[in-house]
Amino acid sequence: MQALTRNPLADPGLFGVNSGATLAVVSAVVFLGMTRPSEYVIFALLGAGVTAAAVYALGVGGRASSHTRLALSGIAVTATQQAIMSVVAVVAPLVAAGALMAATLAGALNTLALGEDTGRALGAHPGRTRALGILAVLLLCGAATAGSGRSASLDSRCRTWPA
């Protein structure tokens, strides 16, 4: 990489290639349940390739390549990917639990949409369904807010606070 970029500091870690491969493997493991290297090796290669292309596109930006700009692009992409990986590890179980709960409740929620009495007559349990539905919403919204790192309503309130 040093010869390719004519930068004595260049390495796969600096340019995000390692973190791109890692992010792709983590995603394959978390979201697709892949557990063996033979299953997720293609994801590692694709992640590394996509990251290298993205860093190059950001570093060149339609004009002559700048060694500094290329290195800074790699650092920015690496930091972003590492932040995503740390968030995924924390929120993935919450998202999985909330999504499973919501999917399980879909039939009961559809039945309750016909009305509480009709839903009860069709075998739904309105109180339990609502409580579990609220829990699913809390898990999914909490995980989404934690994953994004901020709340839009909090952002708008913070802008009105005096410095």
Cβ contact 71:7 at 8 Å: yes
Extract the tokens encoding 62. 């339609």
Question: So what's the pLDDT on residue 91?
Answer: 83
**Containing structural domain, residue 12:** 2-160
Mean pLDDT of 60-67: 68
DSSP state of 162: -
Structural domains of the chain, count: 1
Question: So what's the pLDDT on residue 18?
Answer: 93
Q: What is the pTM of this model?
A: 0.55
pLDDT tens, position by position, 89-144: 778 888 889 999 999 999 999 999 999 999 999 999 999 999 999 999 999 998 88
pLDDT tens, position by position, 3-35: 887 788 888 988 899 999 999 998 898 889 898
